[in-house]
Every structure is written in C-alpha cells, then in structure tokens.
Amino acid sequence: AGLAVQTTLDLDMQNLAQQIVRENVDALRGSYNLNNAALLALKPGTSEVLVMVGSADYNNAAIGGQVNVTLRQRQPGSAIKPVVYATALENGLISPATLLWDLPVRYPTEVGQDYRPNNYDQRFRGPVTVRTALANSLNVPTVKLFDGIETSAFITVANNMGISSFDASRMESYGLSTALGGQEVSLYDLTAAYHTLANGGRFVEPTPIRQVTTSDGQRVQIAPQRPPVQAISPETAFLITDIISDN
C-alpha cells in the first residue's frame, strides 16, 4: 500500500557535511588520537534536520561506524555553558554587566580531595563581567556562578531548551563540574538547545520528516513528540546569542 516519506535532509549540505567530518578527523587524528566525529544541523525556526552525519565512516567497524553518534551521550564540555548563563539570566541573578570573580577557589569534596577549577590557559583575570566570562569560556567564574544557582532551576531550563537527558530525580549527581560539561548529553539534544537560543527562546522539537503521504496522495498528520514552547524568554535568548557571537 506504501507510504511516501519526504525527509528534511538537504542532500548537498549532507554531502558537504560528510566531507567536512572526514577531513577534520583526518587532520586531527595524529595530534589528538581522534578517529570519529558527528555533525548535526537544524534549520532555524522549524528545527528541521538539514544534516545528520552519525560517524566519519559508516563502513569502518573499528570506529563503530554504524553507530549514530549524534544520538549517543557524550560530555559536551564548555558547550553547556550558555545553558548555565541562560539559567542565571532567567532567574534574575545576573546581567551581562554583572561582575564575577576569576580568582583561585577550592571546594571540599566528600572524598577529601579539594576541587580546584582552572581556566584553559591556567590564568586568573580577577573581576570579569558575565559577558567576558561567557564569551571567553572562562571556567572558574562559570563554576562560581553555577554554585550560586539552584540545581533544579538549571535542570528545568536545560529540559525546556531541549536537553532531555538531565534528570531532576538525580540532582545529587549534578556537581559543580556540570557547569563545565561533566554531565553527558547527546549532540541531538545539545543542538536542539542551541536552536532554542537561535529561535528567540522558543523550543521546537527537531524533526527529520517534512511530510508523509499515502499511496493515493492523502497527507498523514504527524504530531511532534513535544509541542513548541517558550523555553526561555526572548530577552535571555537574545543576550546569550549576542554574547556568544563575540570574538
């Protein structure tokens, strides 16, 4: 009887993305022992999947080539920081001009070994604005900011923006390293969260399907898994987007 499924993939972009993934893995393999990568692109506004490259080489079993890495959970590193700052903005704790302290700090842990966050360049800059801290991806001010927000608020904002893997029932596991990407997310969810920023704070469920029709041409209605929702305010989305557009 047959259904005709029209996907949202842009074939030219998909081919280019596959080339980009292969070239970058080849270029970085020697320096970083890197052997795989994934790439996902969503269309602003509709959240349609334009590109999904799940691995560098589908036919290479040595790298798990037939695993779609865009759907597998990995540590996002500093890519999670905009969600941290968005949470603080949403809760009225900061503005882009708020001062944060980029100075050495230590946090006692249950295992008896202090947690001492550091910046990527091992430098401390003293008082910095929120804009400077986020635009330059500074670790220490971000950890201090995360320490001052409610974990439940962060998880709620992350969930609303599209990160489904963060779980409020496990709040005790979301320590300070969460602010630097210690909790795993999928590239699919993380890209959805960035799309929310690009979409004025409005979450739209990503979709790879444009339409489905029956053999006699009747269109089949497919509802999104989650309805669109204003995840964060347009003001917060604008400020975060503006800051991460800085040089």
- Each as own residue / partner, the long-range contacts of residues 55-62 (CB below 8 Å, 24 or more positions apart, any chain) are 55/21, 56/21, 56/22, 56/25, 57/22, 62/35
Structural contact between residues 196 and 157, judged by C-beta atoms closer than 8 angstroms: no
At residue 110, the 3 state secondary structure works out as: coil
* DSSP code, position 17: H
Residue 171's pLDDT is: 85
- Looking at the predicted structure, is the pLDDT value of residue 36 above 80? yes
Structural contact between residues 244 and 135, judged by C-beta atoms closer than 8 angstroms: yes
Structural contact between residues 125 and 102, judged by C-beta atoms closer than 8 angstroms: yes
- Find, among 114, 144, 108, the residue nearest to 126 by Cα: 144
Per-residue pLDDT tens over the stretch 157-194: 999 999 999 998 898 889 999 999 999 999 999 999 99
- Looking at the predicted structure, is the pLDDT value of residue 219 above 80? yes
Going by pLDDT thresholds of 50, 70 and 90, the confidence category of residue 85 is very high
- Looking at the predicted structure, is the pLDDT value of residue 76 above 80? yes
Residue with tokens 């009225």: 92
- β strands within 68-208, DSSP E: 73-74, 99-102, 126-129, 185-186, 202-203
Going by pLDDT thresholds of 50, 70 and 90, the confidence category of residue 86 is very high
CA dihedral 178, 90, 158, 242 (to 10 degrees): -90
- Share the mean pLDDT of the chain: 95
* DSSP code, position 218: P
Residue with tokens 């006692």: 108
Residue with tokens 């037939």: 66
- Find, among 158, 198, 184, 168, the residue nearest to 76 by Cα: 184
- Each as own residue / partner, the long-range contacts of residues 177-180 (CB below 8 Å, 24 or more positions apart, any chain) are 177/115, 177/143, 178/80, 178/146, 178/151, 178/154, 179/80, 179/81, 179/84, 179/142, 179/143, 179/145, 179/146, 180/77, 180/78, 180/80, 180/81, 180/117, 180/139, 180/142, 180/143
Going by pLDDT thresholds of 50, 70 and 90, the confidence category of residue 221 is confident
At residue 201, the 3 state secondary structure works out as: coil
Per-residue pLDDT tens over the stretch 106-144: 999 887 789 999 999 999 999 999 999 999 999 999 999
Going by pLDDT thresholds of 50, 70 and 90, the confidence category of residue 11 is very high
- Looking at the predicted structure, is the pLDDT value of residue 223 above 80? no
- Looking at the predicted structure, is the pLDDT value of residue 224 above 80? no
Length of the chain: 247
Q: Give the percent of the chain with pLDDT over 90.
A: 89
All residues at 6 or more sequence positions from 37 whose CB lies less than 8 Å from its CB, including other chains:
21, 24, 25, 53, 55, 56, 69
Q: How far apart are CA 129 and CA 31, in angstroms?
A: 34
